[in-house]
Structure 1
Amino acid sequence: MTSNIVGQGFSGSPVFYPDDPDWFIVGMFMADLRGRNTAYVIPIETLTEKFDKEQALFNPSENNIVSTLEKGNEYFQREDYNSSIEYYDKVINDPNFAFAWSNKGKALSSLGKNEEALKCYDRSLEINPNSTFGWSNKGLALYYLGKTEQAIECYSKALEFDSNYAFAWTDEGEAFYVLGKFQQALKCLDKALEISPNHPKTGSCKGMVLHRLGKPEEAEVF
């Protein structure tokens, strides 16, 4: 394993991290504890020491909080959302672990339980009100519930904490599109493409916006 590790938060910024997925999870865990959502570089020895201390503070009875969260994430990636919720609940036994609340909300939202998901996001944001990930996911749940203007408020809040989070720019652009605010949508999508040029959803959304603005030739590029 390398002597330095970059723990990726949830920004679209370029990051580097080892192939070992455990360290990716550790990076997310540390990002949550620090109340930040951008990438950062930490010597691995320092990260290990800090993580051990933080783990003891947050849940001294949990043998391996990282592996528990990772297992939940594995089930989430397999789209077995009910199983992922079971593992997130184990981590949530420590009510101060904001990231687990946010992940549980995401799993519930994937099951179409967006009202329940909102409660999880609100709990997450009570613990860490500066979480780009939490605000962005809350916005998405509100969007699915047809509360588009409230969703935009959440996306904007997410971007206050990390203006390089491309997903929030894309989702905000899509929300503006639904409201018929095409110029605002275009600005958001252009910003998202500056950060993440190859994201297919962003390009697709921009193509739809350009069509509605009467620019079909430009839309064909996407």
Structure 2
Amino acid sequence: MTHSVANTTTLTRRALITGAAGLALAGCTTGTARRPAPGTAPVAGRPAIDPYYRAMYAAMPQEKFPIPAVDLRKLDPVYFRQVVDYPTQERPGTLVVDTPNRFLYLVMENGQALRYGVGIGRAGFSWGGRARIAYKRAWPTWTPPAEMIERQPELEKYRNGMEPGLQNPLGARALYIFEGGRDTIYRVHGTMEVWSIGKAVSSGCVRLLNQDIIDLAARVPNNAPIIVQQGAGVA
């Protein structure tokens, strides 16, 4: 009986993680890396990747700009999308970004959350606090802030916006973070840069793999609350 219950729980969690595909539906630069916690880093000769996760991060040819499959050999499995135990007083539907540990949680019922691996803002560009997702965009235009153009003059050509596409820093989806009625300039967005997940590399944005941001955007309505937690250990 115990074995049956465990299998049922696993199937339920897997159905939840992959189910959003059927639902209606600031830029980043390289920076300082942070090592994963001991015992979580990829190691040579680890077991072959579960086909379940290969399917989760498979190519998405149906997208406006077809997305290639993720090379999961480049990603620590701790950052694979998964349901985890997450006791919290935050209400279901809240997004919580755990900056020090490089996770984004979508709070669920019954003390659980759907967890995604993220890359976050490097020191000096990070923001924290309570805000909301004012709106979402599929394949958004990226417009670098004037301050970023001043630091990186080569971005001048994008002052009026960079067209959507696989090379656009916002990726396949962007969730726009507002604090009250004010745009914080920070986004939760997609990326093609698998190596950046789990690291502090961006100019303040929270980046997910394109497959994950598409899943998240399908689950999160406009005006969903978001909490960005900062703390010791941020790279």
Q: TM-score, normalised by structure 2?
A: 0.24
The structure that is strand-richer by fraction is 2
Which structure has more relative contact order (CA 8 Å, sep 6+)? It is: 2
Max Rg structure: 1
Q: TM-score, normalised by structure 1?
A: 0.25
The structure that is helix-richer by fraction is 1
